[in-house]
C-alpha cells in the first residue's frame, strides 16, 4: 500500500492527531536547530530527568567536590535534576566570579526551604543582587559593621569572655575530668550578638528563653542545611512529597519570627521609657529607625534579626570551637601563643580587643583555623540571573555557583602540607589576610557579597582563644591524646562533628 493510500485509510480524528504529533516534532527540531549551541563546562555525562544526581549523590560537600575538581578541572558542571550547579576550584576563576564579574554572579540561588526561612528573599543574606539587597546591606552597616561599633561593643566582648573564664574556674570538673567548653562559649556568642542587637544578655545556660532560642536556631540550621530535601529542589514534580518537610520548616520559621518579635518589642518598651542617646543606641534601634522612615518593612526588620542569628552566631562559634580543638591538639602552638601573650602584654595582663593587632602569632592561629576548617567552605552559593560566560564556557541563567573556598585554601599545589595545622605558614612575606587580598584564602569570601561580619568575627575569635590560653592549660580529657576534629558538612556549612570535653587547668 502506497503512503497516500495508507493516509487515506486512517480515520479523520486519528489523522488529525498524527498531524499534530508530526507538527510538534518538527517544531521541536526547528527550535533545537536554531537554538544557539551552548559551550557548557565539562562534567560527568548527564542522564535525562535526573542529570548527574544518581551518579554523584546528595552529599556535595567540599571534599567530594574537590575530588571531582581533580577529575573535571577548575570549572565543572553538575546537572542535578533540573538545576545546573557550577563548581569553581581555582583562584583565577574565583576572582572572576567574586570580583571581575561580581555583579553578574552576585545573586543567590533560592530553593523551597530557603524561600520559607527568608520569606522569599526579604532578608539580606539570601536575596538576589539588586536594590533590596543594597538597601538592606546599607541599613545593616551602621549598626553592625563599622570600627565605631567594634569600639562600642568590645568592652562587652571582654566582659563575656571574663565571665566564661570565671564559670570554668568555678566548675569542679573542669581542671580534672574536663568539660564541654563549647556549651558555655555558645552562650558567650549569643550574648555578644544579643548585646549588640538588643542591649540584653542571658545570665544562665539554662535560661528557658535562651534554651528556646537555641532550639529553634538549631532546628533552622538542621532543616536548611540538610540534604534530605534535595529531591524536591532538583526535580520540581517531586515537590508534593516534601509537604511534611516544608510544614516543619514553616512551623520553625513562624515560631522563630514570633520569638524575634518578642525581643524587638521588649526593646521598644524599654526605649519608650528610657530613650537612648545616639551613643547608647543598639542595632535594633537603628534598624527600627529605618522601618519608621519607611525604608524597610517590619518583616524586613525580623529577617535582619534572623540573618544575624544564623550568619553571625553559629559561624563564629564553629570557628572558636575548631580553634580551641587545634590548640588542645597542638601543645607547641598553645605554648607559642602563651609565650607571645606573656611577652607582649606581660604575664597575667588580660588580653583586650585593642591588643589583638599587636599579636601576630595569635592572628596566624586564627587564620590557620579558618583555612583548615572553613565554617562556610563553599561560600554562600552565588547565582547568575542571566546567561553568562566563565572560563570560556557558557553558564546558563540561574545556575548555582559554588566557589570551593576550602579547596582553594587546601590545595597542595600552592599550600605546603595543607592537612597540617601550622600557623607559621602565615609568617611568610606574602601577608595573606582573611579579607580576600589573596584568592587562595577566602574564608569570608570577597567582593560585593563577601561577609561584612569579618570586622567583628576576627577580634571576637582572637579575644576568646587568646584569653582561654592565657587563663588555662588546655588539654584533652584523661586517657586521650587528642580531641576529635572531624567535620560535619551541610548544604554549604561545616562544623565540628563532636563537641569535645576539654580539661582546663587554671594558670596562676
- Contacts to ligand HEM by CB under 6 A: 98, 124-125, 137, 144, 307-308, 311-312, 315-316, 319, 375-376, 379-380, 443-445, 449-453, 456-457
Shortest spacing between CB 136 and ligand HEM, in angstroms: 8
Residue 191 main-chain phi, psi, to 5 deg? -65, -40
Residue, CB closest to ligand HEM: 453
- Least gap, CB of 379 to ligand HEM (angstroms): 4
**Cβ-contact 369, 323 below 8 angstroms:** yes
Calpha distance 100→8 (Å, rounded)? 64
Report yes or no: 231 and 245 within 8 Å, Cβ to Cβ.
no
The C-alpha cell of 391 is what?
572560563
> Shortest distance, CB of residue 319 to ligand HEM, whole angstroms?
4
Residues 6+ apart with CB under 8 A from 49: 81, 235
Greatest pairwise CA separation for the chain in angstroms: 105
Assess contact for 496 and 488: CB atoms under 8 A: yes
Report the 10 Å Cβ neighbour count for 285.
19
> Which set of grid coordinates corresponds to residue 16?
488529525
Q: How far is the CB of 51 from ligand HEM (least distance, A)?
A: 24
In whole angstroms, the minimum distance from the beta carbon of 345 to ligand HEM comes to: 24
Q: Measured from the CB of residue 236, what is the shortest distance to ligand HEM in angstroms? A: 25
Q: How far is it, in rounded angstroms, from Cα 113 to Cα 111?
A: 6
Closer to ligand HEM by CB, 76 or 441: give it.
Answer: 441
Residue nearer to ligand HEM on the CB measure, 445 or 476: 445
Number of H helices, E strands in the chain: 19, 11
Question: Using an 8 Å Cβ cutoff, are 127 and 307 in contact?
Answer: no
- Contact residues for 392 (Cβ-Cβ < 8 A; gap 6+): 39
Closer residue to ligand HEM, CB minimum distance, 246 or 376: 376
Task: Indicate the residue among 43 and 453 with the shorter CB distance to ligand HEM.
Answer: 453
Rank residues 119 and 452 by Cβ distance to ligand HEM and give the closer one.
452
Contact 202, 186 (CB under 8 A): no
Among 380, 445, 387, smallest CA distance to 98 is for 445
- Comparison of 164 and 320: residue with beta carbon closer to ligand HEM: 320
> Which alpha helices (H) appear in 36-130, and where do they start and end?
53-56, 62-72, 91-95, 112-117
Q: Which is nearer to ligand HEM, 179 or 451 (CB)?
A: 451
Is residue 504 marked as binding?
no
Residue of 447, 192, 197 whose CA lies nearest to 306: 197
H/E element, 495: strand 494-496
Closer residue to ligand HEM in complex, CB, 229/441? 441
Residues annotated within a binding site for heme: 451
Residues annotated within a binding site: 451
Amino acid at each position: 500500500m502506497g503512503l497516500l493510500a495508507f493516509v487515506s485509510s486512517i480515520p479523520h480524528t486519528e489523522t488529525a492527531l498524527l498531524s499534530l504529533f508530526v507538527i510538534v516534532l518538527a517544531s521541536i527540531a526547528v527550535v533545537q536547530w536554531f537554538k544557539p549551541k551552548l559551550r557548557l563546562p565539562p562534567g560527568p555525562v548527564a542522564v535525562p530527568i535526573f542529570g548527574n544526581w544518581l551518579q554523584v549523590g546528595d552529599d556535595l560537600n567540599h571534599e567530594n567536590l574537590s575530588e571531582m575538581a581533580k577529575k573535571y578541572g577548575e570549572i565543572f558542571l553538575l546537572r542535578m535534576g533540573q538545576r545546573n550547579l557550577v563548581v569553581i576550584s581555582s583562584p583565577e576563576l574565583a576572582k572572576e566570579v567574586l570580583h571581575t564579574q561580581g555583579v553578574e554572579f552576585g545573586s543567590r540561588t533560592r530553593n523551597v526551604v530557603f524561600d520559607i526561612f527568608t520569606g522569599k528573599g526579604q532578608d539580606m543574606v539570601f536575596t538576589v543582587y539588586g536594590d533590596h539587597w543594597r538597601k538592606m546591606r546599607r541599613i545593616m552597616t551602621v549598626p553592625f559593621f563599622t570600627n565605631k561599633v567594634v569600639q562600642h561593643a568590645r568592652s562587652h566582648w571582654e566582659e563575656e569572655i571574663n565571665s566564661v573564664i570565671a564559670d570554668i574556674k568555678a566548675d569542679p570538673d573542669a581542671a580534672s575530668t574536663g568539660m564541654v567548653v563549647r556549651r558555655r562559649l555558645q552562650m558567650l556568642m549569643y550574648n555578644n550578638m544579643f548585646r549588640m542587637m538588643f542591649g540584653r544578655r542571658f545570665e544562665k545556660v539554662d535560661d528557658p528563653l535562651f534554651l528556646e532560642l537555641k532550639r529553634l536556631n538549631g532546628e533552622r540550621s538542621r532543616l536548611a542545611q540538610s540534604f534530605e530535601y534535595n529531591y524536591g529542589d532538583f526535580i520540581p514534580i517531586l515537590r508534593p512529597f516534601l509537604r511534611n518537610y516544608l510544614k516543619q520548616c514553616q512551623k520553625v520559621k513562624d515560631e522563630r519570627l514570633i520569638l524575634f518579635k518578642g525581643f524587638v518589642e521588649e526593646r521598644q518598651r524599654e526605649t519608650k521609657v528610657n530613650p537612648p542617646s545616639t551613643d547608647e543606641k543598639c542595632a535594633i534601634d537603628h534598624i527600627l529607625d529605618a522601618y519608621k522612615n519607611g525604608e524597610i518593612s517590619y518583616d524586613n526588620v525580623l529577617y535582619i534579626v534572623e540573618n544575624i542569628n544564623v550568619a553571625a552566631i553559629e559561624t563564629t562559634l564553629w570557628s572558636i570551637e575548631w580553634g580551641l580543638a587545634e590548640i588542645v591538639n597542638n601543645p607547641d602552638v598553645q605554648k607559642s601563643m602563651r609565650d607571645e601573650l606573656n611577652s607582649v602584654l606581660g604575664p597575667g595582663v588580660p588580653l583586650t580587643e585593642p591588643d589583638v593587632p599587636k599579636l601576630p602569632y595569635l592572628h596566624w592561629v586564627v587564620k590557620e583555623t579558618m583555612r583548615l576548617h572553613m565554617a562556610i567552605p563553599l561560600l554562600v552559593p552565588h547565582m547568575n540571573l542571566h546567561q553568562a560566560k566563565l572560563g570560556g564556557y557558557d553558564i546558563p541563567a540561574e545556575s548555582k555557583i559554588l566557589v570551593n573556598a576550602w579547596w582553594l585554601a587546601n590545595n597542595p599545589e600552592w599550600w605546603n602540607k595543607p592537612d597540617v595545622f601550622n600557623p607559621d605558614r602565615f609568617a611568610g612575606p606574602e601577608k595573606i589576610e582573611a579579607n580576600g587580598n589573596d584568592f587562595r584564602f577566602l574564608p569570608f569570601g570577597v567582593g560585593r557579597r563577601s561577609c561584612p561580619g569579618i570586622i567583628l568575627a576576627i577580634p571576637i575569635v582572637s579575644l576568646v582563644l587568646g584569653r582561654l590560653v592565657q587563663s588555662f592549660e588546655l588539654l584533652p580529657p584523661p586517657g586521650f591524646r587528642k580531641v576529635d576534629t572531624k567535620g560535619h558538612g551541610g548544604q554549604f556549612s561545616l562544623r565540628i562533628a563532636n563537641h569535645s570535653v576539654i580539661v582546663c587547668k587554671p594558670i596562676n
